[in-house]
Structure 1
Amino acid sequence: MSSITKTTDKPDMIVRKMPFEFPNDIDPHWNPDKPEWSHMVNGTSLAMPFLEPYLIRTMRKSLPLIDSGTLKEDVKLYIGQEGQHFQQHRKFNDLLIEKGYAELTNIERQMKQEFDDFEKNRSHKFNLAYAAGFESMALGVAHWLINDREYLFGHADSRVASLVLWHFVEEIEHKNVAIDAYNAVYGHYFYRVYGVIFATLHVIKHSRRAYQAMLKKDGLWNNLRSRWKLLKMTTRFFRNMLPPMIVACLPGHHPSQVKDPQWSLDWIARYDSNTDEFAILDTTNISASFS
């Protein structure tokens, strides 16, 4: 089992209950210049109300197997943050379905069935490796979204951009917890790498099915110009994701070795001093820091 522990200079986690609202005037193409990117994010959002409760149940089952009192408290805070995430995504996803994407309900049913099957028929080791693997992927995504935020979220609907960036700031904040739990309970290196690969491909599979369904509904899936834009965006995703994924699979890797983006640290510091106002970001100046 790993002897690596999380860094002590990292801010303490807190469970933030964000006052997000998703009224009917939100366009599913919330980044009007990038409808393909909008649906890629929408497709990922669709998975959250099924993925994150699965992660919560998996981590909760790990608590009796963990000796460290500090890690147990971190797991409880992780559970609290993930609980807030999936509730906010559930509200946003309901809006997408109400906006005419009823096909998404079939994809939701399949996702629920698969996560239920993992929990029922797979070992706890598999489920905890999946959790650690997903969090490794989420950390890479978080760094990309933050570092590339001007291109991805500039002049987009601030309500959706704020949801996504809040979520991934907290993915950075709790980046150590799932791998620490896995190392404390099992610690098998090769199985952890399997979890990284399996969880990444599994989430991508369902996200792609969802954004494909939405692009088909919009009449864009067979549009060559739109498909070219989608290809460029997915290439941008993989170009930014492959390096951190390779690092996550190295022996001895621990997320505490990955420096947090200054923007995420500034977000946390500003939120702590201005909780209510800070729920909505200014996407006309999203490249700016909060410091």
Structure 2
Amino acid sequence: MIKKITPRSIHFHYKDSYPKYWFDNDIVKTYHANVLAAYIPYTEKFIINCVKAYRTKIKDPQLQSDVKAFIQQESYHTREHFKFLNKIVLPHYPKLKVTRYKFFILLILTIVSGKKVRLAMTAAGEHFTSVISDLFLSSPELFEGIDPTLAEFWRWHFIEEIEHKAVTFDLLKEAKCGYFVRAYGFVLATLFYISGMLRPYLQMAYKDKLLLSPSFYFKSINYFWGNPGIMRKCFIPYIRFLKPNFHPWQVHNDHLIDKWLKASEIINKSPTAKS
């Protein structure tokens, strides 16, 4: 288990321009990463606000320290994801939108359900990001065909997502949120994720005139559910969140942090990289 969460304020520097399909010259891989880049910074703002609502009520000193470091990490992620979005994605898809939310029923449910449910949503969201982070860091081949700086950007994010994966869950327990609240938050977070990710994915397909292309849908289904099957491989680990006795550190994957910290030139140059 991680003993210390280390915020690493790394400023990534990019080339003047990148190709539209910057991820292995592959449409589906690029769309997936672009959607994450567009969705993550807004989600992290939501997460930070949900966590801050409970920050003054934490009694455990270790959890107080972890929450402080967690907020710093997520703030750095937000900053760098907006930079990535503006530099890599929006030059090719300037009208890409994730903030105009059409599924008002989910938005209303999130507001009226209260801050405990919103905290449960953050715990579920952090669990999902740790699951997908584990997948990518465990499978270096998934980074093939990507510019080294862009690969380092994503590895940095994935490392820290694993590092702080239990913070919001522990805060959920500190706030005395029961199993029903946790499960309800999980369902809401999942629906938000699906609806929020699908819209920009299809927006890019529309711009590239692929909405009527059977091969595009075949490639998409294959990437997410076939081979390599990103979502297929994440599904079982993701729904483990619903086990009554679940805790994020039941999966001991902190070795991935050590492995990639040692291998990363960009992260190791940062004065805050030492953990």
Q: Give the shorter-chain TM-score range.
A: 0.7 to 0.9
Select which of 8, 19, 25 maps to 2:11: 19
* Partners of 1:146 and 1:261 within 8 A in 2: no
- Pairing 1:232–2:225 present: no
2:47 corresponds to which residue? 55
Q: 2:96 aligns with which of 97, 104, 118?
A: 104
Distance 2:231 2:187 in 1: 14
Query: What is the DSSP-based 3-state SS (H/G/I as helix, E as strand, rest coil) of the residue aligned with 2:10?
Result: coil
Matched, 1:32 2:24: yes
Deviation string 1:253-280 (CA, Å, 9 cap, x unpaired) is 10111111633322234559962289xx
The sequence identity of aligned pairs, in percent, is 25
Give the corresponding residue for 1:130: 121
* Unpaired stretches in structure 2, ≥5 consecutive residues: none
**Equivalent AA in structure 1 for residue 178 of structure 2:** H
User: Taking structure 1 as the reference length, what is the TM-score of the superposition?
Assistant: 0.83
Query: How far off its partner does 1:206 sit?
Result: 1.1
1:91 corresponds to: 83
- Report Cα offsets for 1:205-225 as digits up to 9, x if no partner: 211211211122122332222
Three-state SS of the structure 1 residue aligned to 2:165 is: coil
Report the secondary structure of 1:65's partner residue. Answer: coil
Aligned residue pair count:
267
Match of 2:256 in 1: 263
Runs of 4+ in 1 over 6 A off after TM superposition: 113-119
Q: Structure 2: how far apart are the matches of 1:115 and 1:92?
A: 28
> Which among 222, 234, 254 is matched to residue 241 of structure 1?
234
Verify the 8 A CA contact 1:28 1:39 in the aligned structure 2.
Answer: no
Alpha-carbon contact 1:30-1:38 (below 8 Å) kept: yes
Q: 1:174 to 1:118 in 2, by over 3 A?
A: farther
The partner residue of 1:171 within 153, 161, 180 is 161
Find the counterpart in structure 2 of residue 139 from structure 1: 130
| Matched residue type, 1:262 | H
Contact 2:10 2:267 in 1 (8 A): no
CA distance in 2, matches of 1:204, 1:139: 17
Equivalent residue letter for 1:240: K
1:184 — aligned with what? 174
Q: In the alignment, does 2:54 pair up with 1:72?
A: no
CA distance in 1, matches of 2:191, 2:14: 29
- Determine which of 207, 210, 218 is the counterpart of 2:208: 218
Does the 8 A contact of 1:46 with 1:93 survive in 2?
A: yes
2:101 partner SS: helix
CA distance in 1, matches of 2:253, 2:89: 35
Partners of 1:208 and 1:159 lie apart in 2 by: 27
Q: 1:94 to 1:55 in 2, by over 3 A?
A: same
Root-mean-square deviation (Å): 2.6
Structure 2 counterpart of 1:170, which letter? E
Provide closer, same or farther for how the CA distance between residues 28 and 195 of structure 1 changes in structure 2, counting only shifts above 3 A: farther
Give the 3-state SS of the residue equivalent to 1:253 in structure 2.
coil
Once residues 188 and 107 of structure 2 are traced to their aligned partners in structure 1, the CA distance between those partners, rounded to angstroms, is 16
Q: Which amino acid aligns with 1:52?
A: E
Comparing 177-186 with 56-65, greater Cα deviation is found at 56-65
Segments of structure 1 that go 5 or more residues without pairing to the other structure are: 1-6, 279-291
